[in-house]
Structure 1
Amino acid sequence: MSRPFILGLTGSIGMGKSTVATMLRELGVPVFDADAAVHHLQGPGGALLPAIEAAFPGTAGPNGVKRQELGEQVFGDAAALKRLEAIVHPAVARMRESFMIEHMGEALVVFDIPLLFEKGHGADLDAVAVVSASAEVQRARVLARPGMTPEKFAHILSLQVPDAEKRARADHVIDTGLPLAQTRAQVVALVAAIREKNPLR
């Protein structure tokens, strides 16, 4: 059975992935946002709150997961993190399956996966697009965020696959260090090329 072309979208912190995801949506491309799915499942009235509270008492309430409390129970504890992932990952996978069923008639869908390379999530993808900019642009963007410090930024970078390696492993690289119109032109060209090769409709 024919199905949409599945493009994975990823990139390190501050590289402009959210901006590119918005551009894709503006072009009518369905985008599955893994982070947004987790926030939905763990937010107010979220489906995973009872299971998370049972596994990590005191970490969930009417307003959703208490991120600080959950972080304190999970941070630095590999076994606890595995328990949490065993609750979250299957639920996200079910949401992704529903998304695919809903958009089966599309030529192209995108999976927005921040830690695609770090967590090895590329198995069911047809190609991967990495958003990238220079280290200087990245640093300036990230340090402009509220509450961000050079130390926090360095720590986050240490947990991510280096940008150069992501670029080397990507099928497509979208340069976000350019004016927005030029980045958008790259996105438009990529979408057009994929739709042309996979004309489901």
Structure 2
Amino acid sequence: MITLGLTGSIGMGKSTVAAMFADEGVPVFDADAVVHHLQGPGGRLVAEIEAHFPDTTSELGVDRTMLAEAVFADPEALARLESIVHPAVGSERANFLARHADAPLVLLDVPLLFETGGWEHVDKIAVVSAPADVQRARVLARPGMTQARFEAILAKQTPDSEKRARADFVIPTGGTLESTRAAVRAVIACLVGAAGG
């Protein structure tokens, strides 16, 4: 099995590309979706997060906005939150890999692959990338997004240029969906062919 880590900065189209891999039959581990599940209604991290960050949860699970406000400008609080979340996500990832042990290729969709050291646990890395003006337009079109918030998020992410330099594959997402899908298929063909599948 080859594990392909997929990452990309905010607004680069990572979720769209992950869905394209799934459409091609590649099992996809979506780290964000796992976090949402763990922190959602009845999620196994809700009580622990509430214990460390009071008033950030309800019967609906973790209030992500309240939690973000509690940790965003406090590196120690963020590290505490990560020490709760990352091991749980790691456990879910191990279960996913065990379930798909016979697959020639699996995709690990991890937004902060470089920032959290996840790159050390994959065989190859694919980065989604679009021109900066396309990225900015996409992100600023999101509900509640501001220029200041966008810049604050970018400041916490590894720059796109560095991600591209460290990637085994760069999947361009600034053009048509068809051109992006062709790039995804080329990556799969390269990797599955290399594995003899």
Q: TM-score, normalised by structure 1?
A: 0.93
1:78 corresponds in structure 2 to 75
Q: Which runs of 5+ in 1 are unaligned?
A: none
2:84 corresponds in structure 1 to 87
1:48 aligns with 2:45: yes
| Post-superposition offset of 1:184 | 0.4
For 1:37-186, list aligned pairs within 5 A.
Answer: 37-186=34-183
Letter in 1 for 2:134: V
Call closer, same or farther: CA 1:158–1:82 in 2, change over 3 Å.
Answer: closer
1:12 aligns with 2:12: no
| In 1: Cα distance, 2:149 partner to 2:52 partner | 28
SS of equivalent residue, structure 2 residue 120:
coil
Letter in 2 for 1:79: E
SS of equivalent residue, structure 1 residue 47:
coil
Counting matched residue pairs gives 197
| In 2: Cα distance, 1:189 partner to 1:58 partner | 47
Letter in 1 for 2:25: G
Letter in 2 for 1:159: K
Letter in 1 for 2:46: L
1:29 corresponds in structure 2 to 26
| In 1: Cα distance, 2:6 partner to 2:109 partner | 5
SS of equivalent residue, structure 1 residue 118:
coil
Q: TM-score, normalised by structure 2?
A: 0.95
Call closer, same or farther: CA 1:149–1:77 in 2, change over 3 Å.
Answer: closer
SS of equivalent residue, structure 1 residue 8:
strand
SS of equivalent residue, structure 1 residue 76:
coil
Letter in 1 for 2:144: G
Call closer, same or farther: CA 1:137–1:68 in 2, change over 3 Å.
Answer: closer
| Post-superposition offset of 1:59 | 2.0
SS of equivalent residue, structure 2 residue 43:
coil
Name whichever of 130-139 and 77-86 sits farther off: 77-86
